[in-house]
């Protein structure tokens, strides 16, 4: 066996071991080491009892905005990421210090979570008062943005058709 073949074999085995380790860790469950307590446990039980499949616990994301040379960071923590009926939701548990909902909170806190985690909505769960509110957003771009996307996709489709036509006639 030559050195190059041995090196390729070692890389292949390394990739195989990484994939196997990833699969085993996923079977065991990501948050299995730390048991949930208090309102987190109650929320988990409520979510599971109401048909939500828990995908992740205490998932983290980050939002960064730039203004000139300055960068503004915001760390986002989803208490749970759940799925029900093909839709994925971020779950945020209500805290005692929250003072209700307003437009600023919706814009500054909830919308970045909606975008960063790429979900269909947010479930705001108040375990103590046994209430759940669904937070959802509807984004309507201006017509020129919609038409720009339509034209872009049409050009890609036509390009693909042209390539297929040239390929078919060159045979």
User: Between 144 and 40, whose confidence is greater?
Assistant: 144
Q: Tell whether the model's pLDDT for residue 166 goes beyond 70.
A: yes
Closest CA relative to residue 62, chosen from 74, 53, 47, 79: 74
Note the pLDDT of residue 100.
72
Closest CA relative to residue 52, chosen from 122, 113, 138: 122
Determine how β-strand 131-135 pairs with β-strand 121-126. antiparallel
Q: Would you say the C-alpha torsion 63, 77, 99, 43 has a positive or negative sign?
A: positive
Q: Which residues pair with 76 in a beta bridge?
A: 61
What is the CATH code for 36-135?
Answer: 3.90.320.10
Q: What is the pLDDT of residues 48-70, one digit of tens each?
A: 988 999 999 888 999 899 999 99
Note the pLDDT of residue 67.
94
Residue 152, token pair as written in the block: 């872009």
Torsion of CA 36, 38, 40, 46, to 10 degrees: 110
Q: What is the pLDDT of residues 72-114, one digit of tens each?
A: 998 999 999 999 988 999 999 887 777 777 787 788 888 999 9
List the domain boundaries for the chain.
Answer: 1-30, 36-135, 140-171
Q: How far apart are CA 116 and CA 94, in angstroms?
A: 20
Note the pLDDT of residue 33.
44
Q: Tell whether the model's pLDDT for residue 17 goes beyond 90.
A: no
Residue 88, token pair as written in the block: 């994925």
The pTM score is 0.63
* Separation in Å, CA 154 to CA 29, 63, 158: 43, 32, 6
Q: What is the pLDDT of residues 133-157, one digit of tens each?
A: 899 988 899 999 999 999 999 999 9
């Amino acid at each position: 066996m030559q050195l190059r073949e041995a090196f390729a074999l070692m890389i292949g085995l390394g990739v195989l071991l990484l994939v196997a380790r990833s699969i085993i860790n996923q079977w065991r469950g990501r948050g299995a080491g730390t048991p949930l307590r208090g309102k987190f446990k109650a929320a988990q039980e409520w979510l599971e009892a109401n048909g939500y499949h828990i995908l992740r616990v205490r998932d983290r994301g980050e939002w960064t905005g730039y203004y000139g040379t300055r960068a503004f960071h915001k760390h986002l923590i989803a208490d749970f990421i759940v799925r029900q009926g093909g839709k994925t939701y971020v779950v945020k548990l209500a805290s005692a210090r929250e003072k209700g909902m307003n437009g600023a909170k919706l814009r500054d806190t909830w919308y970045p979570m909606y975008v960063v985690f790429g979900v269909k909505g947010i479930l705001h769960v108040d375990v103590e008062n046994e209430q759940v509110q669904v937070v959802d957003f509807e984004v309507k771009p201006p017509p020129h943005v919609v038409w720009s996307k339509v034209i872009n996709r049409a050009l890609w489709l036509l390009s693909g058709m042209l390539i297929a036509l040239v390929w078919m006639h060159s045979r």
